[in-house]
Amino acid sequence: MPEIILIIYLAFFAFIIFFMISIINFMKRKTQNDELLIIKIEELINKLPGKDS
């Protein structure tokens, strides 16, 4: 019986570690995509007619 509980604990911690790594990778990709989006929006704003600068 204790072996089953140990396996359940290990599986739970493995899932938590996998989930945390997935979240970290997602946030890295999101940050890169947000930076590219900001650059594109700035380019579009500069192309608007009547822009003084």
Q: Estimate the share of the chain in helix, then strand, then coil, as percent rounded to the nearest 5.
A: 85, 0, 15
The answer to whether 28 and 22 have CB atoms below 8 angstroms apart is no
pLDDT in tens, 6-37: 999 999 999 999 999 999 999 999 999 999 99
What pLDDT does 52 receive?
A: 61
- 51: Cβ–Cβ under 8 A, 6 or more apart, which residues? 45
What pLDDT does 41 receive?
A: 96
Statement: residue 53 has pLDDT above 70: no
Global confidence as pTM: 0.66
**Counting beta carbons within 10 angstroms of the beta carbon of residue 1, is it exposed (0 to 12), middle (13 to 18) or buried (19 or more)?**
exposed
